Structure 1
């Protein structure tokens, strides 16, 4: 495997893992579209954990969701997927670092290190998929309520937390794909044929010819 590809993929995976940690506690997963009049201007915004409001004076008031079972199903699923994404990213970072050629933790068995790196790539892909499913599902419900003319509640728009999540998922998937393709190309190179070497029969025939020459020389020497 190319060490440069390993370093670039590990760097992309690390950035994606950090961005998941930034997106998860971000308060602006969705924001309100109507602020009210000039005097009582307020902005509503929510994430997976709480609902907040800010007024024209800059005072923020946040209220955590009281019960897990009282939440909508997509919020519960998004929570679980985001937490699973962080766990997968952690495993991906550890396995990819151990499998890198510049790391001595995995020994000098490069075949084993390549397989470990491939496992890290799989973890990165799973991290990206979990993140993408979580934020896309959350965004789908936002747009569904926004464009529903019969929806009487507060209509929200997509917040910055979702964009961070999409970027994180993209980076994680790119890192995993790079690791997998690099390991596959390395295994294909190892399967290439060895250079041609003469067979044992040829060696024996050469040895026999040398014996014939030696015997002839000995006979001529006594004449």
Structure 2
């Protein structure tokens, strides 16, 4: 189980890194205006900046002027990617505490619950990143294939594919965490059942011995270890 938890943690961390890289990238959509190789100009845009470069290697970027004039889908994608990063950080911290191979977190049942919460956060983080990249890609493709759209048309940028890869790894890490926890919960349940059985067996054994002594006319010896059994000298007067 520890091996699969390590695999899930590594997948989640790599997915989180890809999500961060996609969020800060400026290549969510791109286009080229080229009459020749020498005069080629590339225009690409991200969630935070608009950039333009030419064949000579010069690149100029400027930030979006204000969030109030941005398109709604860009603001939604920003929120989803930020949420995915935050959930990924919390999931990584919880996974380090809840993994079986670590020495912190408490009992096996508590560590299993923490690991389950970490897997759930990884899964939701992947869904947020997947939703943001898919929404952005849908907007690009809709504008590109719309014959009535007369403005500049863009194509899918590299950041979208990085975001899709990161979201897939986060979702995979969350699912592997879920699958690795079934053994932990079953083991904790079996330990609890075993303790309950031992207690019941000891109680039945002692109770049966007392009943046998009473049936033979013998009174079981009093237990003087309890304070309630300590009588003074006038107890039988």
Q: What band does the TM-score fall into relative to the shorter chain? A: 0.7 to 0.9
Name the SS of the counterpart of 1:24 in structure 2: helix
Q: Distance in 1 between matches of 2:208 and 2:47?
A: 78
- Count of paired positions: 206
**For the Cα contact (< 8 Å) 2:26–2:45, is it kept in 1?**
yes
Q: CA deviation at 1:191?
A: 3.5
User: Could you state the TM-score of these two structures normalised by the residue count of structure 1?
Assistant: 0.84
Q: CA deviation at 1:21?
A: 1.2
Structure 1 stretches of 4+ with a deviation exceeding 2 A read 188-205
Name the SS of the counterpart of 2:147 in structure 1: coil
Q: Distance in 2 between matches of 1:57 and 1:202?
A: 92
Moved more, 60-69 or 85-94: 60-69
Could you tell me which runs of 5 or more consecutive residues in structure 1 were left unpaired when the two chains were aligned: 213-223
Q: Distance in 1 between matches of 2:138 and 2:44?
A: 16
**What pairs up with 1:96-111 in 2 under 5 angstroms?**
96-107=95-106, 109-111=107-109
Q: Once the two structures are superposed, what CA deviation does each residue of 1:178-222 show, in whole Å capped at 9, x if it has no partner? A: 1122213432344456599895469958xx7xxx9xxxxxxxxxx
Name the SS of the counterpart of 1:140 in structure 2: helix
Q: Distance in 1 between matches of 2:182 and 2:101?
A: 19
> Does the alignment pair 1:7 with 2:6?
yes
Q: Distance in 1 between matches of 2:147 and 2:167?
A: 32
Q: Which residue of 1 aligns with 2:170?
A: 172
Q: Distance in 2 between matches of 1:14 and 1:106?
A: 20
Q: Which residue of 2 aligns with 1:44?
A: 43
